[in-house]
């Protein structure tokens, strides 16, 4: 019993589901992580090997099985006319407006791009882009209504 006495015990319960804002924040953070992996793989010259699982029904037996497929990741950055790299943050198919009228971040090179993506990821996880995520999510959901 002395071992348990050294621990801090609480009566906290695990939540059954996350609030929608936290779910959206985690979704965007995962996509920024993919972009970060893509930028690091391009900087080192190694190929990116992200995979996803998919259920496929076998035509002969009719049974469903899980298949691992490569995941295609499109870069969110491009080169501007001045030779600098610009990166925009996307939520689904919508580009997030980071500040009033500003949708892209300008960086100097690939190493600065990696640092910028890490900063964006920390901003997303801290909740700084929640209002922009909510606006983009509402715009995406309105496209599915009849």
| Cα dihedral: 121, 26, 94, 37 (round 10) | 50
Q: What average pLDDT does this structure show over 104-110? A: 90
Across 114-137, average pLDDT: 92
pLDDT score of 134 more than 70? yes
SS3 67: strand
pTM: 0.79
Is a pLDDT exceeding 60 seen at residue 1?
no
Strands (E), the chain: 51-57, 64-70, 77-79, 85-88, 90-91, 94-95, 104-107
Q: How confident is the model at residue 18 (pLDDT cuts 50, 70, 90)?
A: confident
* 35: confidence class by pLDDT, cuts 50, 70, 90: very high
> Which pLDDT band, with edges at 50, 70 and 90, does 78 fall under?
very high
């Amino acid at each position: 019993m002395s071992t348990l006495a050294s621990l801090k015990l609480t009566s906290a319960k695990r939540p059954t589901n996350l609030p929608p804002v936290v779910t959206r924040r985690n979704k965007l953070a995962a996509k920024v992580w993919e972009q970060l992996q893509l930028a690091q793989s391009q900087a080192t010259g190694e190929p990116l090997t992200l995979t996803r699982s998919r259920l496929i029904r076998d035509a002969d037996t009719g049974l469903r099985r899980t298949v691992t497929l490569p995941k295609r990741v499109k870069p969110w950055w491009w080169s501007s006319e001045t030779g600098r790299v610009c990166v925009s943050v996307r939520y689904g198919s919508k580009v997030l407006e980071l500040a009033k009228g500003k949708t892209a971040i300008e960086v100097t090179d690939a190493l600065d791009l990696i640092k910028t993506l890490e900063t964006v990821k920390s901003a997303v996880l801290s909740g700084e882009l929640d209002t922009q995520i909510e606006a983009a999510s509402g715009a995406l959901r309105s496209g599915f209504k009849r």
